Structure 1
Amino acid sequence: MHITILTLGSRGDVQPFIALGVGLKQAGYKVKIASQATFKSEISSRGLEFALISGNPKEGIESAEGQAMLRTKNPIDFVRRMGDLLEPLMEKVFLDSWQACQETDAIIGGGFPFWGFDIAEKLNIPFYYAYLTPGYPTKEFPNAVTPAHLEKLGGIYNRFSYTLTIQLFWQFFRKPINQFRESILNLPPTSIWKNVFTKMEDAKVNYLIGCSASVIPKPKDWSNRVHLTGYWFLDTPDNFTPPTDLVNFLKSGSPPVYIGFGSMAGEEAQKIAEIALLALAKTQQRGIFLSGWGSIKNSDLPDTVFQIDNIPHSWLFPKMACIVHHGGAGTTAATFRAGVPSIIIPFFGDQQFWAYQAAKLGVSPPMIDRKNLTVDSLAQAITNAVENQSIKENAASLGDKIRSENGVREVVEIFSSRNW
C-alpha cells in the first residue's frame, strides 16, 4: 500500500511527518513525502521517496511581507497577510501536490496542505488530516491562533473561535483552491459557506493530532475520528556524531542555556539574539546559540557562548539548563520531551498557545511578549527557569511521561486497523 504525505514549512513543521513516514515504512507501507527541496536529503536518507513541492517558506518569512505578517498581533490580519504572501505560489504548489499523489492509495495532509482533501476526493481515496497542534473544534480551549488566555470566556467563545478562524482562513484561500479544483481536478467549486473543513466533516475524515495527552488532555467533545496520538519524534540517527568542539564546550562547564528561534528570521530575530547575549552575561550563564534557519549571527560571541547551525534536538536538549525559543510546535514538543524548563518568546500563529500551555503546566515561566522583551525581563526568566525547583521538577516529570509514549506507533496502528 502506498501512502503520500504532503507537508510544508520549517524543520519543526516537517520533521514530525518524516518520523511518521519512517514508522509507516517500517510497518510495511510504501511512503512518499512531498515537501520543499530543503528536506530532500533528509527524507531520502531515511529510505523514503521524495517528491518536490515548489517554493521556499524561508524566503517568504524573510521578505518585507513576511516580516509584516510576523509583527501583526491581530489573528484576522495575520491570516490575511499569510494569504497574500502565499497566493502567488499556490498554483504551482497545488500542481506539484497533485502530481505527487498519483498512484497513491491514501493521503496524509500534514498541517497546512489541506488541499490534499481535494486531491483525495478526485482520486477517490482516503484522506487523513494531521495536525501538530490540537486544532479540532472544542469547547474546552480556543483555536490555537487566537489569544489562549481568553479560554476563561468559556465554552461558547472557545467553540466559536474555531468557526470564525476556519471561515476567515477559507475566505483567503477559497479562490486559489477553487481554481485548482476546476482547472486541474475537474471538480465543481466549493461554496463560500461549504468550506473544505466542513466537507471533511461530512466525509467523516480521520484526524491525527501529534500531541501528547499529558500536555493537552483529549477534550470530551471530540469525535472518535480525532486521534490524539502523542508526539511524532524523529530519533537521532545511529550514525550521528556530534562535533568535537561542541562536545568539548559542553564538558567544560555547567549546562548551558539554549537560545534559538527556528524559522524566525529578520531584524527582530537579530534584536532578540542581541538581548539574549546580554541576558546570558547578566545571569552569568553559558549559552548555545542556534543560527540555523533563523539566520541568527554574531561574530563577537564570548567564550561562554557556542554557536551551532543544526543539531538533533533529541541529543542536545537534555543537556541544557533551559531552552529559550519561539514556541513552534516542533521545538516545544522536543523541549517537553527533554524534561528541561523552557522560556517561550512567541512570534505568531500557534506559538502563543504553546507558551500559554507551557506556563499552565508549570514547566516554564510566564510567556514573554516580544514588545515587553528586555535584557532584564529575559534575565529574570532565565534565573527563574534554571533555579526554580518546582519548574525543574514539573519539566522532568512531563519529560518522563512523554518519553513513555509512542505517537508514531499509534498512527501505524490506526492505519493497520483500517480494512483496506
Structure 2
Amino acid sequence: MTTSSNSSLSDVEPSKTPKNILLLAIGSMGDVLPFVNLGVGFRRHGHNVIIAANTRFRSFVEEKGFAFREVNWDMQHEWENTDAGSPFMFDFLKQGFQKSYSNSESVLNNVDFVVLGTGAAYMYPECLFRNVPAAYVCFYPWASSKSYTGAAYGRSFDSLQWLPFQLNVKIWKTIDQVATFWSDVGLLPIYNQRLKELGLPPAERLPWLPGGAFEKNQIPVIHALNRNLIQIQKNPLNPLEIQMDYPSLNIKEELKDFVPPHDLVEFLSRGRRPIYFGYGSMHSFSDAESRVLIWLEVMSLLPQNQRALFSDVGNIKMKELDDAIKSGRVFIIDHIPHSWLFPQTCCVVHHGGSGTTHSVVRAGVPSVVVPHFADQPWWASILHRLGVAPNTGIQANAITTDKLFSALLEVLSSEEIQEKAAKIGSKIKKEQKRSPVSKIVAYIEKYWEKTKWDVLTLDDEQQKVKVKDNWRQVNGNCYGNRMMNGNDDMQDVYL
C-alpha cells in the first residue's frame, strides 16, 4: 500500500476514471469552506464528491450541490466549552476521536478516495482498514524546521523575540520533541485502541507527526499555503509531501452566483473605505457585547470620517451600536464573500485563521490580527514579518481598546504597510489566474493513477492481511524511536 518508488509524481498522467471522493473536514467553517472549494474542483474533473463534516454544515454543503455525510463530533461547539487556549486539550480531543470513530462506517462507506483535512488526520486508520487510499491537506506546518517554528500549540512564528532567530528555532525544535512526546502520551492510547478494534497492530507515533504513518507510508501530504506567505521546507523522507497554494477558487468563480446587498453597496459608495471587524468562527468564544463595545470605543477615537463594517454581532441590543449605525459610521454585515468585500476595505481586523489570512493578503489590504488559539498566533506573526500587519497580534484574552486603537492607527498612518499589502496582493492575484484548486485535484489524481489501488479485488481476509503487513512495515522502523532517543538525522527537516 505504499507507493512503488520514491520518485515524485511529475511523470504520471492524472487518472481520468470517475471516483467517489470523500472530503473529510472536521472543525470550523475555516476547515469546511476550502474543502467545498476542492469539491468544486473534483466535480469539474468528473468525480462524485461527498463532503463529511458536522451536521451544522449540512445546509451549507448541500446548497453547493454536494452529498453530505455527518461526522459525530461537533468540534467547534466543544471548543466553545473547553479551555481552547491550552496546548494539550487531550480529554477534549480523545472524546472527539471516539465520537468520530463511532460512525466511521457510515462516513466511509462506498468511497474510492479520502482527502483528510487538518483536523481529520486521526481518521487515517479507517481508510487503511478499508483499503481506501488517502491524502492529507493541512493549512499550517505542524513542526519546526531550520527556517521557521511550527504553527501548532498556539505559538507565534517568532515567539521568543528577544533571542536570535536561529537560537529561537533550535529551542522550538526541542519543544517540538517534547510536544510530540506529550501528544503521543495523551492521544496515542485512544488512537491505538481504535487500531486494536480494527484488528490492526499498534502505532508508535500519531500519523501526522514526524516519523508517523503519513511519512512512512508516503501518502500525499499537501501543505496548502501560499508561498508568498511562507515557504515550507521539503521532507526528504516523503517525496509526496509538497507545498501547494491555499485551495481557493479564482475570484470570478467564487462570485459567479453572488449578488451583493443593495444597502451594503450603497454604504460602501458613500465615503472612505471602511475597516472590517470580525473574528469568523471565533466570534462565539467571546461575549458579543464586550467585543462590539471595544470596536465602538476604537471607532470613537478614530477620525469621524472613518467608517466600519461589523461582522458576527448577533442579535445584541446596544444603544451605542444603534447610534453608530444611525450616524452612518457603522454597517452590520453577516456572511459576505471575502473576495468581494475585503478589497473594498482599508484594513481587516480578524482572528488569523488560515483561510481569512489568505483572503486578506490576496485582497491587498493590511491586517490587525486578534488570535484566539491554535495556529492563529503563528499567522499573526507571519503577517507582521511580511510587513502587512503592525504587530504580531493582540491576544483575544488580552485585548483592550487602547491596544486595538494603537494597532489600527499605525496601519492607517503607514504608507509602507499599505504599499506592502497591495504589492503582495497584486502578485498573488496574477499567480492565481488558474485556480489553485485545479492543481491540488490534478496532483491527487496522479497519486491515484500511480498507486493503482483496486479495492474490489480483495476479499475481507486478504484485505486485513495486506493492511496488517503494511502497518507493520510503517511502524517497524519508526523515526519516533530515533527522534526521542536523541538522534538528529531529521533535525533540519522536522525536529
TM-score, normalised by the number of residues in structure 1 = 0.89
Question: Aligned partner of 1:258: which letter?
Answer: Y
Distance in 1 between residues matched to 2:77 and 2:127, nearest whole Å: 29
Q: Structure 1 residues 161, 124: closer, same or farther in 2, change over 3 A?
A: farther
Aligned-pair CA distance for 1:194: 3.3
Aligned partner of 1:195 in structure 2 is: 206
- Determine if contact 2:184/2:205 at 8 Å carries over to the other structure: no
Match of 1:85 among 64, 79, 92: 92
Question: Aligned partner of 1:195: which letter?
Answer: L
Match of 1:317 among 316, 324, 342: 342
1:383 is aligned to 2:409: yes
Aligned-pair CA distance for 1:173: 2.0
Aligned-pair CA distance for 1:161: 4.0
Aligned partner of 2:244 in structure 1 is: 229
| Count, aligned residues | 404
Question: Aligned partner of 2:43: which letter?
Answer: K
Match of 1:69 among 52, 59, 84: 84
- Within 5 A, what are the aligned runs for 1:332-411? 332-370=357-395, 373-403=399-429, 404-405=431-432, 406-411=435-440
Aligned-pair CA distance for 1:201: 1.4
Q: Structure 1 residues 62, 188: closer, same or farther in 2, change over 3 A?
A: same
- Determine if contact 1:339/1:398 at 8 Å carries over to the other structure: yes
Q: Structure 1 residues 135, 86: closer, same or farther in 2, change over 3 A?
A: closer
State the superposition RMSD in angstroms. Answer: 2.3
Distance in 2 between residues matched to 1:361 and 1:59, nearest whole Å: 33
Distance in 2 between residues matched to 1:97 and 1:25, nearest whole Å: 23
Question: Aligned partner of 1:212: which letter?
Answer: N
Secondary structure of the 2:146 match is coil
- Determine if contact 2:143/2:149 at 8 Å carries over to the other structure: no
Aligned partner of 2:459 in structure 1 is: none
- Determine if contact 2:383/2:389 at 8 Å carries over to the other structure: yes
- Higher alpha-carbon deviation: 315-324 or 172-181: 172-181
Q: Structure 1 residues 305, 126: closer, same or farther in 2, change over 3 A?
A: same
Match of 2:187 among 173, 176, 201: 173
CA offsets 1:107-128 (integer angstroms, 9 cap, x no match): 1110111123211211223221
- Within 5 A, what are the aligned runs for 1:1-400? 1-63=19-81, 66=82, 68-70=83-85, 78-80=86-88, 82-135=89-142, 138-145=145-152, 146-149=155-158, 150=160, 151-153=165-167, 156-183=170-197, 185-190=198-203, 193-197=204-208, 198-219=212-233, 223-234=238-249, 235-264=253-282, 265-267=284-286, 270-284=289-303, 285-291=306-312, 297=316, 299-300=318-319, 301=321, 302-303=324-325, 304-370=329-395, 373-400=399-426
- Determine if contact 1:134/1:211 at 8 Å carries over to the other structure: no
Q: Structure 1 residues 89, 218: closer, same or farther in 2, change over 3 A?
A: closer
Distance in 2 between residues matched to 1:413 and 1:88, nearest whole Å: 35
Distance in 2 between residues matched to 1:98 and 1:16, nearest whole Å: 24
Question: Aligned partner of 2:436: which letter?
Answer: G
Secondary structure of the 2:294 match is helix
Aligned-pair CA distance for 1:244: 2.0
Secondary structure of the 1:148 match is coil
Question: Aligned partner of 2:87: which letter?
Answer: V
- Determine if contact 1:140/1:158 at 8 Å carries over to the other structure: no
Question: Aligned partner of 2:437: which letter?
Answer: V
- Higher alpha-carbon deviation: 24-33 or 161-170: 161-170
Aligned partner of 2:487 in structure 1 is: none
Structure having the higher Rg: 2
Aligned-pair CA distance for 1:324: 0.3
Question: Aligned partner of 1:381: which letter?
Answer: A
Aligned-pair CA distance for 1:220: 5.0
Q: Structure 1 residues 129, 28: closer, same or farther in 2, change over 3 A?
A: same
Aligned partner of 2:460 in structure 1 is: none
User: Is there any run of 5+ residues in structure 2 with no aligned partner, and where?
Assistant: 1-18, 453-495
Distance in 2 between residues matched to 1:308 and 1:206, nearest whole Å: 39
Aligned-pair CA distance for 1:276: 1.8
Aligned-pair CA distance for 1:154: 5.2
- Determine if contact 1:249/1:306 at 8 Å carries over to the other structure: yes
TM-score, normalised by the number of residues in structure 2 = 0.76
Q: Which has the higher contact order (CA 8 A, sep 6+)?
A: 2
Distance in 2 between residues matched to 1:166 and 1:5, nearest whole Å: 26
User: Is there any run of 5+ residues in structure 1 with no aligned partner, and where?
Assistant: 71-77
Aligned partner of 1:73 in structure 2 is: none
Aligned-pair CA distance for 1:230: 0.6
Distance in 1 between residues matched to 2:193 and 2:344, nearest whole Å: 50
